[in-house]
Amino acid sequence: MSVSSESEVSKNDVDSPSSDNANSGENVGENTLKKGPWTSSEDDILIEYVTKHGEGNWNAVRKHTGLARCGKSCRLRWANHLRPDLKKEAFSPEEEYRIIELHAKMGNKWARMAAELPGRTDNEIKNYWNTRIKRIKRTGLPIYPPEIYLKALNENQQIDETSTFSSGEVHCPDMMPVDNFEIPAVEFKTLKMNHRMHPPSFLDIPSSSLHSSYPGKSLLSTVNPSKLFQWSEPVNPCLSPTMNDTIPCGTQYQNENYVQNPQSFIQSSAYDNNLTSSQASPLLLSDSNAVLNGNPSSSESNWATKMELPSLQSQVDYWSSPSPPLESIDTLIQTPFTEHTLSRHNSGLLDVVNESQTKTNSSNIFQHQSSHVTDMVFNVTDTSYQVIPGTGWNSYWEPTSPLCSFSEGTPISENIFNEPEEAIEATPDLKKTRLSCLPQTAVRKIT
């Protein structure tokens, strides 16, 4: 947003002193401080001041210039908009990749990230990331591309070898961004050793969403949008987009090609802008489902029905870094499919997180989750399906297991994902979609 015009100033008018000003002891009694968008004349004043006196001592700005802005506001304005070294253009693909890479390492350390990206501000990066996260939350895509995750994981493992287990920050500084939902490091460590992927889900993908904002980087541009399905929700809430720290737990990695040749998989996966429908079979449905049949009404549920890929994920070229070690991939692929995968679509994620945190205090978490998953499978209420005894989620993620082989028309029980009823009813086609996420070894259609 650019600086508002002078006419807008009167509209914004002068506001009461912020609590922060009060905190800092700023004397705002006689002349109150203005809030809201900066005007160009205010900018000029600030620029002139900083040019003359340099950065810092922001509270002096008002004294010396008469600018009705608090020191903080001045600093922010300068740092985010007026600094001469700022880049004004949109993030380049390289920068986007770098941001994701940095976030995998640092978490929500915007200022630190900004320090690594010349000409970029923490606010800018934060906005970019938050937008991206919103999108990812909706689509259920993994936050990090596999090589970034694995890279960070490897770094983390190296840290493991040399650090104690006394604190999350020490233990997993690179993979456990410190945020509202900080998960005890022990959980993450556990996750690293108990691995299984969670199943994918399908959803409709507006064709417009399949195109990168970058020319020539169109994602899946050759793929009929109706043939794509969504990667599933993250394995564990602690790794979900909402948590701002996640592993690439989507089933796009549950692919033989990826196991055998991660790099080539990455290059030919959904990240691949050259992907064709035939090449992308793991990500495509042989049959379209109704969600994908151009039924727009189905795209309005909470289920994240619009397959708008994160812009980063269209930057395939940058996701083709050297292959991670296969053992790491194996570890990754076997990340456990937990109840949270299913329940994430439920009500408050925070509840799930809290639950997760509680449960992860127990070493039996995966046992518990496993049984729960079974319950979920049995919750398939549609009687045309049956759970096949002796099969389960474990086998589903065998690299060679075909996934999502349910044909169109496959219904799904709301119970499976605890979806709010209204959402289900609004999107009947999603039922088909979601059952497609179930392991075929666990459920089969009774013919």
Partner DNA sequence: AACATGATCAACCGCCGCAAT
Partner DNA sequence: TATTGCGGCGGTTGATCATGT
- Please report, as ranges, the residues that interact with DNA according to CB under 7 A: 1-4, 8, 15, 18-20, 23-26, 34-38, 55-60, 71-73, 75-77, 79-81, 90, 108-112, 122-124, 126-128, 130-132, 134-135, 138, 179-180, 206, 208, 213, 244, 296, 299, 308, 311
Q: Which is nearer to DNA, 11 or 368 (CB)?
A: 11
What is the closest distance, in whole angstroms, from the C-beta atom of residue 172 to DNA in the complex?
A: 16
Q: Which is nearer to DNA, 59 or 391 (CB)?
A: 59
What is the closest distance, in whole angstroms, from the C-beta atom of residue 90 to DNA in the complex?
A: 6
Q: What does the DSSP 8-state code read for residue 198?
A: P
Scan for tokens 């500084």, then name that residue: 173
What is the closest distance, in whole angstroms, from the C-beta atom of residue 96 to DNA in the complex?
A: 11
Contacts of 292 (CB under 8 A, 6+ apart): 202, 203, 204, 205, 225, 226, 227, 228, 229, 285
What is the closest distance, in whole angstroms, from the C-beta atom of residue 275 to DNA in the complex?
A: 21
What is the closest distance, in whole angstroms, from the C-beta atom of residue 338 to DNA in the complex?
A: 24
What is the closest distance, in whole angstroms, from the C-beta atom of residue 178 to DNA in the complex?
A: 8
- Gap between the Cα atoms of 406 and 436, Å rounded: 5
Contacts of 143 (CB under 8 A, 6+ apart): 100, 103, 133, 136, 234, 241, 244, 245, 246, 248
Scan for tokens 């993620």, then name that residue: 397
What is the closest distance, in whole angstroms, from the C-beta atom of residue 185 to DNA in the complex?
A: 17
- Gap between the Cα atoms of 276 and 223, Å rounded: 6
State both tokens at 426. 């609004």
What is the closest distance, in whole angstroms, from the C-beta atom of residue 419 to DNA in the complex?
A: 16
What is the closest distance, in whole angstroms, from the C-beta atom of residue 280 to DNA in the complex?
A: 23
Q: Which is nearer to DNA, 135 or 432 (CB)?
A: 135
Q: Are 211 and 161 in contact (CB under 8 A)?
A: no
Q: Which is nearer to DNA, 326 or 350 (CB)?
A: 350
Q: Which is nearer to DNA, 34 or 434 (CB)?
A: 34
What is the closest distance, in whole angstroms, from the C-beta atom of residue 132 to DNA in the complex?
A: 7
Q: Which is nearer to DNA, 208 or 278 (CB)?
A: 208
State both tokens at 395. 């086998």
DSSP codes joined into one string, 376-432: HHHT---TTEEEPTT--HHHHT-TT-----PPTT----HHHHT--HHHHHH-HHHHH
207 CB neighbour count, 10 Å cutoff: 15
Q: Which is nearer to DNA, 78 or 396 (CB)?
A: 78
Q: Are 275 and 269 in contact (CB under 8 A)?
A: yes
Q: CB under 8 Å, gap of 24 or more: what pairs does 90-94 form? A: 90/213, 91/120, 91/124, 91/128, 93/214, 93/217, 93/315, 93/317, 93/318, 94/318
- The residue ranges of DSSP E strands in 229-372, in sequence order, are none
Q: Which is nearer to DNA, 17 or 411 (CB)?
A: 17
CA distances from 195 to 147, 235, 332, 334, 391 (A): 17, 10, 6, 3, 18
DSSP codes joined into one string, 141-162: --SS-HHHHHHHHHHHHHHHHH
Q: Are 249 and 238 in contact (CB under 8 A)?
A: no
Q: Which is nearer to DNA, 60 or 326 (CB)?
A: 60
Q: Which is nearer to DNA, 69 or 195 (CB)?
A: 69
